[in-house]
Amino acid sequence: MFRNHKKLWIIVLIVVVLGVGAAMSQKDKEKDVKPITNADSQSQTGNNTAPGENTPQATSDSGSKGKVKESITEQVLFEEDGVKVTAKEYVNDELIWGDGIKLLIENNSTKDVRVGCDALIVNNYMISDLFSSTVAVGKKANETLHLSSSDLEAAGIDVVGQIEIYFYISDASSYMIEKRLDPVTIKTSEYANMDTTPNDAGKELLNRDGIRVVGKYVDENSFWGAGILLYIENKSGKKITITCDDVSINGFMVTALFSSTVYDQKMAIDDITLLSSDLEKNGITSVDEVELKFRVRDKDTFGVLFETDPIKFSTK
């Protein structure tokens, strides 16, 4: 999914879910997915690393998440320029938003501020964040930083053990970011029990310069049309943003929405979104053959690290 637009898309999705009163369960979703079973062996590897099929990893019982009650010790996450943020407690399964961290934000600065975060990382997986809080001068706010339940499920995270947060402070009126804080790490009561096994079952599409991309499956009934689910791993020593170009489905060029930022030594589960209107225009009723190019950039400099030659894979 186009990570930079994910906040807006998730909000729209939540509204739709509330309107119909139900969401598709994971078992129902699995009926509409097709595993990626074949990948072109050319133009996808570097450093003499050969691609191959990964062995599926054992996963925990999906029902075990409800049996675990994580907790945290109250702690000050940062105090900067008169703004103080304290983590008060861990909350479990808050409505449809999922688990979260309750925060107390105190603004003793000289102006109204907005506190948000650039990145939220759970058990070393990049997770979408929806957190933003505006606090007037001399006031306080109780907020919850939610951990996307759908992102946790996609990553196979049943037990939350570690949460890394990259906070920033911006002017509430101009929205200009004035300061980015050093990352803070929260360890829950289940830190020793968290599973950090890579959820990388599927076909390896790219393995180059410390960056791996694995095609997991194609969901032909996603919210926007169809989605190609990917596992991304970054051991490059840099924060990277990966996108795709020249995407064709069954030989037809289509518009694909995909931009995923992955910090160094972290992982992500993200998807390439194919719009239903594009598929219908080209008479595509089944996503069978996919061809694309990946482009990897340094997130900080936006310089291109490398681009791949065309990569082909299929679901047949």
What residues does each domain of the chain span?
Answer: 21-56+201-314, 67-193
- Domain 21-56+201-314 class? mainly beta
* Listed range (50-54, 252-256, 261-265, 271-275) with the worst mean pLDDT: 50-54
pLDDT of residue 96: 64
Reported as a pLDDT band with limits 50, 70 and 90, residue 85 is very high
* Residue 153 in tokens: 């499920």
Q: What is the mean pLDDT of residues 204-227?
A: 92
At residue 182, the pLDDT reads: 96
* pLDDT for the residue numbered 316: 78
Q: What is the pLDDT of residues 165-179, one digit of tens each?
A: 999 999 999 889 999
**What rounded mean pLDDT belongs to the chain?**
85
Average pLDDT over residues 227-246: 97
97-148 residue pLDDT tens: 789 999 999 999 999 999 999 999 999 999 987 799 999 999 999 999 999 9
Say which CATH class 67-193 falls into. Answer: mainly beta
Could you write out the DSSP letters of every residue in 189-226? Answer: TTGGG--------EEEEEEETTEEEEEEEEETT-SSEE
Q: How crowded is the C-beta side of 275, counted as CA atoms within 13 Å?
A: 10
The residue type of 62 is S
- pLDDT, residue 91, reads 93
How confident is residue 95, by pLDDT bands cut at 50, 70 and 90?
A: low
**At residue 264, does pLDDT exceed 80?**
yes
pLDDT of residue 8: 43
Summarize the confidence of residues 263-271 as an average pLDDT.
97
Give the model's pLDDT for residue 225: 86
Separation CA 287–CA 196 (nearest Å): 31
Say which DSSP state 2 is in: B
Confidence at residue 24, expressed as pLDDT on a 0 to 100 scale: 42
Instruction: Specify the pLDDT at position 252.
Output: 97
| pLDDT confidence bin for 25, thresholds 50/70/90 | very low
* Of 10-24, 38-52, 284-298, highest mean pLDDT: 284-298
Residue 92 has pLDDT above 80, yes or no: yes
- Between the alpha carbon of residue 66 and those of residues 7, 59, 152, the distances in Å are 25, 15, 13
Position of tokens 């072109």?
Answer: 40
Q: In sequence order, what are the residues at sequence separation of 6 or more whose Cβ sits closer than 8 angstroms to the Cβ of residue 228?
A: 36, 215, 217, 218, 219, 271, 272, 274, 287, 290
> pLDDT > 70: what percent of the chain?
80
Question: Structure pTM?
Answer: 0.83
Matching fold, domains 21-56+201-314 and 67-193: yes
Percent of the chain exceeding pLDDT 90 equals 70
Q: pLDDT-based confidence at 17, cuts 50/70/90? A: very low
Residue 23 in this model has a pLDDT that exceeds 50: no
Give the model's pLDDT for residue 47.
52
Answer whether residue 62 shows pLDDT above 70.
no
